[in-house]
Chains A and B, each alone.
Chain A
Amino acid sequence: MKNSTLLIRSLLIIAITAGIPHALAFYSPSDPKPAVNTQSEELSVEPPTIEQDTIQTIWLSKYEVTFEGLQEKAVYQIKKEGNSLKCYSIELIDALGNRYPDSTLVMSQIELDEYTAKSNYKIEYEGNKYDVESYLVMNEAGDISLNYTYYEYSGKETWKRLY
């Protein structure tokens, strides 16, 4: 078989096989992004639960988490399960940048008030596990800053939105 035939057939195989999932992802976006709400008029006549849904949607995303004073990072994901928002740690990134899959529930009930939120937060400090009350604030870019205090110990985190 000629080299040019091999090349053309191979490129076709790759284009078709990779094209299908991309086309599907393009035409049915499954991860809603925090777009500006253009349907606010419609929403005002809908029951309030819909509005609650819209607010929740804004928070649903993956975030790269930087812990103040630590080199390790993590990727968190806020997900909707049933009617409540939960947050999972889905990936750990060590100081060298190596990534390890993870699946730890870190927040089991996030209470939203539009762009701020409050949640219990499971943290590990020097080998001990704590459940602390944390406060989250989302900025215009969709990133989150998180604060908590636990007796005299306090922590700060930046969650950068991943698209």
Chain B
Amino acid sequence: MEFLTETFELEELQYFFDYINNGSVFYLIIPFFILELIRYAVLKKLNWNILGDSLANVVTVFAFIMIEFVLGALLIYQLYFYVYENISLPHLPLNIVTVSACILLADFAYYWDHRIMHRIGIGWATHTVHHSSPHFNMSVAYRFGPLDAVFPIFFSLPIVMLGFNPWMLLFVELFVQSFQAILHTEVIGKLPGPIEYIFNTPSHHRVHHGSNEKYLDKNYAGIFIIWDRMLGTFAKEEEKVVYGITQPLNSINPIKVFFHGFTRLYHQMKSAKGLRSKLSFLIRPPGWTPPAD
């Protein structure tokens, strides 16, 4: 059982996760995306809208990375390390058990972060971007909203407080994102039962992207679908998924795509009467309307 407590260096961990998190873009995501384009072509579905939409996705990911970068340099390092040094349980050694626990916790934090982004106005204003494509392919995985980097901070800090090394947490969070990315495809149908039971799969995540009534606000999982099963938000892929949001965006303009959630929120708040109603739009779930008096 010694391998359980055998400690490794942060650098080894970084090397391992870099290979998966950054490397996979080249050995998995891009080849897969090309395969999807070929599939679209064979099915005679390839058109300018899909290409433009994919391009918009790539633009949003660069905007997202820039925001993440500024935020990271200014805030995340400082905050994470302050918390780690001052308000944390005893620091955990880096070993296989710690890393596995960290993956589970980061994935659980992802579940709640994701669920909350769907259920409060300000969260949906940023996360709607990810859902606004009417298509479903690998490039959609990279479609991010302006504050998508901000919300997770609140959900990761408690993990730092539990004594997990912030660098490890960062690698693991990127790993959850990378796992999520490969789920965005129509090429893979359903996987064998046990896998579909435990893990989030393309099938489960297609459901999450559906605007069908019975698919709304379901399957928030990152890596493990068990969180949805345990917390009552699981739905199986049955009827054909209609991708997108209930009020379609109909645009491939990257700027519109990136900001449409906030423009919509702003208009809702502007038209509401009274400060209370206006502010309620920030925390009420999407679709909420102020009570008529």
Contacts and interface: CB of A to CB of B under 8 A. Distances in A.
B10 interface: yes
Given A9-B231, A97-B78, A103 B92 contact: no
B223 to A, nearest CB: 13
Contacts of B108: 10, 13-14, 17
B231 A22 contact: no
Contact-residue bracket for chain B: 20 to 34
| A-B interface, 8 closest residue pairs, ranked by CB to CB distance from nearest | A1-B232, A103-B11, A21-B98, A18-B162, A21-B101, A17-B104, A21-B97, A28-B5
Given A98-B78, A99-B77, A18 B101 contact: yes
Contacts of B231: 1, 6, 9-10
A6 B232 CA distance: 9
A24 interface: yes
User: Which of A14, A18, A22, A31 has the most CB atoms of chain B within a 10 A radius of its CB?
Assistant: A18
A24 B5 contact: yes
The main secondary structure of chain A at its interface with chain B is: helix
Interface in A72-100: 90, 97-99
A16 B282 CA distance: 34
B79 to A, nearest CB: 11
B34 interface: no
Contacts of B7: 30-31
B131 to A, nearest CB: 23
A101 B231 CA distance: 37
B81 A18 contact: no
B199 interface: no
B89 A22 contact: yes
Interface of B: 4-5, 7, 9-11, 14, 73, 77-78, 81, 89-90, 92-93, 95, 97-98, 101, 104-105, 108, 112, 158, 162-163, 167, 227, 230-232
Contact-residue bracket for chain A: 20 to 34
A43 interface: no
A35 interface: no
Interface in A94-116: 97-99, 101, 103
Contact of B90 (A13, A25, A97, A103): A25
A20 interface: yes
